[in-house]
Chains A and B, each alone.
Chain A
Amino acid sequence: MSRRALAGAVLGGGLGAWLAGTAGGAFVTPDALDPARWNVIVSGRDESVVSQLGRGTQVVGGALVLTPHTFRRSDQLVPRDGRALGGVALTLAPDSGPVMLRLRGEGTLLAIEIAPDAWRVLPGGWTPYAAPFEVRVEGGEARVGGASIGRTAPPTLELSAKEETARILALRLRDEAGADTLVEDPVAAWRGRAPLALGAVLGMIAGAAALWTGGGGLVALAVPIGVALVPHAAWLGLVERLYLVRLAPYELARAALALAFAPLFVGALARSGRAMPGERPRRDALGTAAWVGVAGLAAAFASRDGAWAWAPLGLGVLLAPLLLARAARLDPVGLLVRDLPAAAAVAALGWGPGLLPAVAWRLVLLVAGAGSLLRRAPRAAADGVFVLALALPFAAELAARSTWLDTAWDTARLEGDDQWRDLTPFWEGACGSGPRRTVLYAGGSSTGGAYQFHDEPDAFFPSRVHARLCAAGASLRTTNHGDGGRDTFTLSRTIEGLLAAERPDLVVVYVGVNDLLSATSLLTRAEREAQEAAQGAAMRGFAALGARSRLVAGLSLLARPAIDQEVDGVSDVPLPDAEANLRRIAAAARAAGATVLLVPEHVAPETTAVMAPYAAMEARLAAELPGVELVEASAALAPYAAEGLLFDRNHLSRAGTERMAELLAPRVAALAGLASPPVADGPG
């Protein structure tokens, strides 16, 4: 080993160990929170990788880390212990971002922002404190340092990050008697260790290679150093930006770090002069036979799942380097040995995912061997570089289509879930023998498809209403077209088809939350629809061409805007749009001879004020439009609040579903011309 390489190894080893100690946390497998003790509420759909692990909330580097998401609201960490909370004590790392601590009681909400050295009740001013920060709840009063900060009904606790990553070093929950109910000590519990040894070894190899290679090597060394310094929050943001639904941030970080060493590796390989083999021997029949044998074996392995259609083309690709060997008079056996990683990748991964690493490896060999090929066969080598460079995106497309990226980067999915155009009901039922009346229910996830009853479609309120009416002797057909994310925009664009398909006598519309409180773009749904319609046909066709490619879809995600819901958020369906949509729905129903029953969504008390204008708009429409009726569900259900009618903040619980069914059944019966079920007594 030269002195330069030796010096590089020593310097690199130290640098690698330092980097691993200071920035290695992003590359370490985090510990999961105990799912028996904590609920991590993650907004967004189909984003879970591994339960409790690997996204924004985890134990890493001796701290309970809460990382704000780029494309979603922060995770909420909620203790599973249902007992009333008596107090919270927490210690933040000195470099931590602030933690939001919410004490949520029935009808009360205290939002406390805690920084490492100061706290405040929003929206008030900051007060300094000495760690740990402690809040106690006594006699309906929340107190910090003995001073009252506000009244609260017996609260539940929610923790979340704000704008920066929060690092909690200790967390202690107490009951009303002051006894500990939950203690998190991530410093003691942290099993992972910063990978100092691994960092040192990688650093030694990289440092030696960099100094041995020369000036270009030092430039190439900057790439992995830069990647190593990228924090966990950035990897999390990239995972979300690219919609990598099956990949944890630390896995992406490791893959990126491995790839970041590629320029250094190529430079070192070129410097070694061993990227290309020596001169072809006079008799090379053995070499050609070896190529055919290895390629045949790789093709057989790659086709083991029955993908034989790819075998002829794949075999040609595997044997292609022989052309270069012939043109450049290279030893075919030597070239075969260097090409073995490509054959191994295809054999191990199959044709779809395997061709990408094979093409990439051959490109590495050609680039590293450019100096040698420049002398031997520049034209054949240049052709090889062009062919491989052009093949790379196709191989990447094939790889994406062969893995879970095929679903993750499916344009139809990325453009906002087109499933709402599907007119298949989420649930349907029929009872009675005579001529049946038909009731159609439409709405979002509280009406059908939500996670709380996902495997029990007959647990949603439309089927509970149906059951009550059937028990009362009705002859009835019920179809539930509720599903997650649906709103008045989607319903107004499908109502004619639904009316034609189902021919209902009554349409029950349970909407509101998805209209006003969802923000998935910088534009409203109607604006996005208009923008698409305004795009020229040629441009639409060109865009549609790109939409067929998973690679284009995936890379396009890099350019998508991140939305700060608090600042940029625009309702998917603002109030005026919602009114226009409901008018359109009412007009279509009237033309089809159906009555419309509007039911403003029942939401948690802290959200009622936000939804009040929506409920008022629906009441105004019911008073104004013929054939449109209203049930003010929130007011009617308010006396039953103590039963816990909501599963979270807007999805009905089982108790809520039964109360809603009890409320709606007489009105549905009257409006649909059915026998009315017996009416229950009030609460208490």
Chain B
Amino acid sequence: MLKIEGLTKKYGDKRAVDDLSLQIAQGEICGFIGHNGAGKTTAIKAVCGVLRFDSGEIYIGGQSVKKEPMACKRMTAYVPDNPDLYDFLPGIKYLNFIADVYGIDAGERRRRIHQYAEIFELTADLAAPVSAYSHGMKQKLALMAALIHEPRFMVFDEPFVGLDPKASRTVKDIMRQKCDNGGAVFFSTHVLEVAEKLCDKVAIIKGGKLVACGDMETVRGDSSLEEVFFEIEGEGTGADD
């Protein structure tokens, strides 16, 4: 579903992402892990077509993000780490705007909005302006907007931040369900326990370079993901201190 080949993105002289290559197959959930400033968000933005990159190639469903950006975006759902939505629109109008952009017909969008609003317990608040939403409600709305066009490939940057436990569980269930139906999920997180339990695959980035990537079992071996992560980062887990 996702194939990244030699992705490089520079800011001035600094290589935020340096020759990163990665593949995610259909049915896989891939966790993307790294310190703050490691290059996770830059790589994610490049995958979603939000950020232009200097070299390399990114393919989604076999289509090049560089050459066929619209086709790639049609397959993809993206939720950023801090969803700044249109504050001036009510929640329902924001969802309708996204549905219009993705060309979802009126009947189908109504069904999906109803379905996801019930799942995320946001129905009663849909008429309120986004400016009145809490961070968690904005996150839920962003997730609903991402799901409204039934994407095959979902890219989430820190999707669980701000969500209540029930909504977090819902998101994890949706991610698994999408993958079971032939989709794929690529998400970043700092919560290693979540990544360990949820992901089929894990990719660890450090200083813009991919330092570990593979099936969870292979990367983790006999250790925990946390131990592997700190070993790669060259730091103790704190347990030895």
* A and B associate: no
Enumerate chain B interface residues (CB-CB to A < 8 A): none
Enumerate chain A interface residues (CB-CB to B < 8 A): none
